[in-house]
Amino acid sequence: MAGRGEHPFLIWESSDGAVTTWSYAEFDRLTRRVAARLRAAGLRGGGAVHLALANSPAFVAVWLAAVGLGAHIVPADPAATAPEIAGQLARTRAVVGICSPRRQAVYAEAAGAGSGLAVFAVDEDDVELATLTGAGAGEAPRAGDPGVPDPGVPEPGVPDPGVPGPGATAAVLFTSGTTSAPKGVVITQANYAFAGATMAAAAGLGPADRQLVALPLFHANAQYYSFAAAIAVGASVALLSSFSASRFLAQAARHRATHASLFAAPMRMILARGAERRDDLALRHVWFAQNVTADQYERLSALLGCRPRQLYGMTETTAAVLTSRPGEARPDTMGRPTPGCAVRLSRRPDGGEREPGEVGELLVGGERGVRLFGGYLDDPETTRRAFVDGWLRTGDRAYRDAAGVYHFAGRDNETLKVAGENVSVVEVEAVVAEHPGVLEAAVVGRPDPVRDEVPVAYVVADPRGAAPGAGELAEWCRRRLSPVKRPREFVLVDELPRTSVGKIRKFLLPPDAASGS
């Protein structure tokens, strides 16, 4: 970034706790060397590089190098299976693949013999990025050296793609598949620029601030809300190899982080570890997504030294389109429309506007490829169905109160039809989770010959005390929920199945499981 060359850009804490720092200028030089290596491997403007890496300097360098070449990244869960990787490689027609040495055999199986894919096995703790720069044991080749193409100079006979435009694809992000098969979400360079500027302004992020990134980089949250925001204003990023509930607060203090972003699941993990408040924390802003209870929120606020602010966004919306304002931070609302974002509720069947308190589907407006995603990869029909009258359908239900603050009312597929009545599993989950012996809960529908379907609750007990029994939970719900909303069964489990970023994979919770209570 112009004028920020000597300012710290990336502070990397490796898996063994070693810390390496690069300035903006230093990391730009590293990125150019990686770009030269990728170009030599066949990556060109419009091409794709597939990344199956955990958080690492290599991930960041490849991401920035690809964008600089006018190419794009396809980040994958580093723990993805060979069939999952194979599907992504085929759908994106990637020409370069990058994985860790630990996953090389799986990656080779996914690529298949004779695929022509150039594969680099990269140690995620390597700060020299030897594999990606050709450094080896000696001095790393630099762009312009003999035999090493400069990423900014076309090779003989190769047309110069020119400077990548804002409409160029910068990434294809596959959705987590919590409710359906993954879709390839096309993100442009303009999308990243919009997300970064919007989220930096919403968080009050400035050049002197430092983002702490513990969430996985292959997910949109870390990319949009942390990295893109930091780059937009010339701030720095402290990148951790992975999230650790027992070390998170100490790491935040160690790196003097002022900003962070978390999901509800990691926040609960911090609480479950019995973390204690530190006086050396510098945090003044923390985003969080997904609900926590009022008690958990207050405990977290005391630990973090600031009141976390709720946000709502999707991979497709790039920026979080709803964010709570600094003076309105609370755990049970989605917030207000983020400045620069357009949000509304679906109209009534008669075409009228929703009144305060009336539930409708959340819709998001904006130009595709600028504020909203460019579309679903090679799937114009699914892209078309995702919009109504030019507005993106989120599939999430919400209502707006008299003050203009939005409240979550569940996903369309999280509304059960019990004896002809609509039951929001979000409401039932919230009630079960409020029990003092419950850490978290998930509710699914079980087919019922009389009532069509009935709620079943999967419960993770709070490790600080004795696990509640099914009878105790039933009595708790009897006092708080009408009969139609009460779970017919409580299943105690050690943990809920999740994606790598903490979203509950409800389709893995069998609705006919025998009770573990």
Mean pLDDT for back-to-back runs of 10 residues, the chain (517 residues): 84 97 97 96 97 97 97 94 91 96 93 88 96 59 37 42 82 73 91 98 98 96 98 98 96 98 90 90 95 91 96 96 95 96 95 94 98 97 95 95 94 79 87 95 88 92 94 95 92 91 83 51
Q: Where are the CATH 3.40.50.12780 domain residues in the chain?
A: 8-164, 237-410
Query: Scanning the structure block, which residue is given the tokens 């998001």?
Result: 364
Separation of alpha carbons 320 and 222, rounded Å: 12
pLDDT at 512: 60
pLDDT at 145: 38
Three-state DSSP class for residue 433: helix
Three-state DSSP class for residue 416: strand
Beta carbons within 8 Å of 270's beta carbon, 6+ residues apart:
245, 248, 249, 300, 303
Separation of alpha carbons 421 and 399, rounded Å: 19
Superfamily name with CATH number, domain 237-410: ANL, N-terminal domain (3.40.50.12780)
Beta carbons within 8 Å of 247's beta carbon, 6+ residues apart:
none
**Which token pair is 93?**
């027609």
Spatial contact of 143 and 35, defined as CB atoms under 8 Å apart: yes
Separation of alpha carbons 228 and 219, rounded Å: 13
Q: Where are the CATH 3.30.300.30 domain residues in the chain?
A: 419-508
Beta carbons within 8 Å of 100's beta carbon, 6+ residues apart:
52, 53, 54, 78, 121, 122, 123, 124
Q: Which pTM value belongs to this model?
A: 0.85
Superfamily name with CATH number, domain 8-164: ANL, N-terminal domain (3.40.50.12780)
Q: Which residues of 333-346 are buried (b: 16+ CB within 10 A; e: fewer)?
A: bbbbbbeebebbbb
pLDDT at 517: 43
pLDDT at 503: 81
Long-range contacts of 253-257 (CB under 8 A, 24+ apart): 253/278, 253/280, 253/281, 253/282, 254/13, 255/11, 255/13, 255/210, 255/212, 256/210, 256/282, 257/210, 257/211, 257/212, 257/282, 257/283
Domain 419-508 maps to which CATH number in 3.30.470.10, 3.90.550.10, 3.30.300.30, 3.30.420.40? 3.30.300.30
Beta strands in 366-478 (DSSP E): 375-376, 387-388, 391-400, 406-411, 415-418, 421-424, 438-448, 452-461
Beta carbons within 8 Å of 339's beta carbon, 6+ residues apart:
198, 201, 202
For residue 151, which phi and psi values (nearest 5 degrees)?
-60, -20
Taken as a whole, the chain contains a residue count of: 517
**Which token pair is 241?**
């190899």
Q: How far is CA 8 from CA 26, 31, 234, 237, 443, in A?
A: 9, 15, 9, 8, 45
**Which token pair is 242?**
């992975």
| Nearest partner of 222 among 362, 343, 75, 99, judged by Cα | 75
